[in-house]
Amino acid sequence: MQRRLSKRQQQQDATKSPDATAQPVEQQQKTEANDKRRGSKTTLHTPSILIALVCILPFLATVVLFVRYYYESNNDDSINRLSNSLHDHESISSTLKYDNRIHENGRLRPEDHIHRGAITQTLNWSVTAGQRRPDGVDKRIYLINDMFPGPSIEARSGDTLQILVHNNLEDEQISLHWHGLNMRGANTMDGVIGVTQCGIQPGQSFWYNFTISETQSGTFWYHAHSAVQRADGLYGSLVVHRPDSTLVSPNERSEMVSDSVKYGYDKEIVLMIGDWYHRTATDVASWYLWWGSMGYEPVPDSLLVNGAGRFNCSRAVRARPLDCIGSADEMPPLILDGNSSYRVRVVNTGSLTGIILGFAPGTSIQVITIDGGNPVEMEAVDGGRSSVGILFPGQRVDFVLRPLKGQTSWMTVKMDDSYVSPYTLYKTAELSVSSDFTIGNPALVPQQSFPIFQTPLPSDSLPSSPTAQSNNTNDIEEDDIININTLPSTRTLLSSLPPKSEQTHIVYTKVEKLSRLDNIPHGFFNRTTWKIQSDPPYPLLGLPRNQWDKHQFAVSTGNKNGWVDLVVNNLDEGAHPFHLHGYNFYVVDIYESPEGSGRWGSYNPWTSPSFNENIDPYDLTKAVLRDTVQIPRRGYAVLRFKADNPGVWLFHCHVMWHLAGGMAMVIDSGSGDDSVAHEPWLAEEGMECRV
Ligand SMILES: [Cu+2]
């Protein structure tokens, strides 16, 4: 597999032409060359047969290779695992009568943080890999201090985190990114290989050392920003509590009611929810970054909440046997105290799909913040709805869950099929029917219900669990969903939004399958597909911009600290959840072209009919402050932020496979001059990165 990838890499590197429009001509030349090689004997006699063959053969080969590769590429691995992995059952068997992983990994203790002053927390982490069964299916995953997900971090605003990360993997480099934290004055700690640091090599350690801003609090997470390790479990939760009012100066105090009083909740939990693949992420990425995938995203097999799930072993695809144990009706439960209101902090830790979260009808949900603690206006929405969505990869939502009536209930996680369905012809309604040539995944149950057990738990028998295929037990009604993507920020937050920005930058993004890149899907910003800076092999932060290689596309905001509009035109047939490091941005405009209109939906403020030099056409009362935004297919978003955080910040799609295909660019803030690096010491001789 690796050999195949590296060969591809060589081919790509050998490609010189940066001209994206050259495709048709090249394709034609290639086909002609192939024709000559393949058909020199027959050409003279039967040109029509030859033409027919040339037309049909590649198509047939594609179909055969495609199906074979997708369903069989991992047979050997799986069989090996089957034969020698009966040693590891500890992650799901326990002396308890139920699986308590969701509970243990989601517990929060705000009381330990909101009443104290800022401190320095020093943590010592060892990253390893091991076989575990998050959903009953054995898989090699990443562990931090032997845990999956990694240790939860709880802090308060103003805390300093000093985290010593040892890479105890055999042959992979790693890095960790603190998703959503502004990292003000700490760009070198942002954890992006090739942008802010070199990878931490096997056997080496790295100190992450940064102070959380006094003004930041909310739900965050940390995850690997190296290769595709995030998708194999190298992540954990990071919750920053807002300190209570007794700790701030008296004149600020009146505005600072603690969140629990303001929103009326008693307890807090965090839920890391995401799709899950049974193959390793390297295998999944290799499949997607192959011409035969034709750009169809690999469909996940399962889903996890706080590292726990339950796969129905009987759904395993025959050609891809799994080492799977456990019963489908043992879904891991949430444990709630029946009398308390909870602040539920949800993170989409997945690689591809958006999620909708639903509770039993009659449950009341109040959405309070989006992404890193940005409060939203809920007045616009009727109360009494019991579902929230869609939360896309990298995004977070906090809501208050009022006490549930009755003794037992369920939480349902539904994967958004809009990403997967139209492009893979995947039919959620006909799960067992997959006889046609599509790359749907019959193993996946896209809607799963997890039981909620209420304390005190009965000592003799536990409430019964819904089965893994409990599609009907707790359906999510479309009109019962709070659409978190239309909630505006609170008026207080919007009051700091200027009516007009000082700079406007326009970029275009798309996944392209170009012949000059062997028809392997690549994510582009304008004409650049991102790769880790390799020539010279130093992090971008250490190099002046005039030494960045051809895989870096940068928007420079100069050194004026002014407000910037970034117009992101998504020319793709699919939507993408874009995440910006180092900043929160206001989404001041967002648009999707009507289905079937044939339009690209791109936007250029200067050529727009509503262009006015003095007034922007945006309705700022609808804006929302966040750090990860789903930009619709054939549409755009206008992101406004104050470029006052010097550094080089990655802006990228949070779909793991698209990022692996290069869907990223950087925002360069606070350096006016092309010939001056932000942190020249990072590019000293002898400190080259391994790329
Ligand atoms: Cu994407």
Model pLDDT for residues 489-543, shown as the tens digit of each residue: 999 999 999 999 999 999 999 999 999 999 999 999 999 999 999 999 999 999 9
CATH classification code of 497-683: 2.60.40.420
Query: Are domains 101-242+258-486 and 497-683 of this chain identical in fold?
Result: yes
Percent of the chain scoring above 70 in pLDDT: 77
Per-residue pLDDT, 146: 98
CA of 228 to the centre of ligand 1 (A): 14
Asked if residue 198 has pLDDT above 70, the reply is yes
275 within 8 A of 192, measured Cβ to Cβ: no
Per-residue confidence band for 422, with pLDDT thresholds at 50, 70 and 90:
very low
CA of 574 to the centre of ligand 1 (A): 8
CA of 263 to the centre of ligand 1 (A): 34
Per-residue pLDDT, 251: 56
Per-residue pLDDT, 75: 36
How many residues are present in the chain? 691
Between 466 and 148, whose confidence is greater? 148
Model pLDDT for residues 335-394, shown as the tens digit of each residue: 998 889 999 999 999 999 999 999 988 788 899 999 999 999 986 555 678 899 999 999
Between 457 and 547, whose confidence is greater? 547
Q: What is the pTM of this model?
A: 0.84
Per-residue pLDDT, 583: 98
DSSP state of 79: H
CATH fold of 101-242+258-486 reads Immunoglobulin-like (2.60.40)
Asked if residue 464 has pLDDT above 80, the reply is no
Per-residue pLDDT, 257: 76
CA of 202 to the centre of ligand 1 (A): 30
The residues placing their C-beta within 5 Å of ligand 1, an ion, are 576, 653, 655, 658
CA of 404 to the centre of ligand 1 (A): 37
CA of 36 to the centre of ligand 1 (A): 38
Q: What is the bridge-based pairing of β-strands 635-642 and 585-592?
A: antiparallel
Per-residue pLDDT, 658: 97
Cα dihedral 293, 297, 299, 302 in deg (nearest 10): 130
Model pLDDT for residues 273-315, shown as the tens digit of each residue: 999 999 999 999 999 999 998 888 999 999 999 999 999 999 8
Per-residue pLDDT, 252: 53
CA of 632 to the centre of ligand 1 (A): 10
Please give the structure tokens belonging to residue 87.
């040693």
Average pLDDT, the chain: 83
Can you list the positions of beta strands (E) in 624-683? 624-626, 628-631, 635-642, 647-653, 664-669
Asked if residue 419 has pLDDT above 80, the reply is no
CA of 7 to the centre of ligand 1 (A): 25
CA of 601 to the centre of ligand 1 (A): 17
Asked if residue 613 has pLDDT above 70, the reply is yes
Percent of the chain scoring above 90 in pLDDT: 64
Domain coordinates in residue numbering, the chain: 101-242+258-486, 497-683
Residue 526, Cβ density class (10 Å: 0-12 exposed, 13-18 middle, ≥19 buried): middle
Per-residue confidence band for 12, with pLDDT thresholds at 50, 70 and 90:
very low
DSSP state of 200: B
Per-residue pLDDT, 537: 97
Asked if residue 91 has pLDDT above 60, the reply is no
Asked if residue 5 has pLDDT above 80, the reply is no
Distances (CA, A) of 548 to 28, 539, 658, 666, 681: 33, 9, 22, 11, 16
CA distance 477 to 71: 34
Residue 205's H or E segment, with its range, is strand 205-211
CA of 392 to the centre of ligand 1 (A): 11
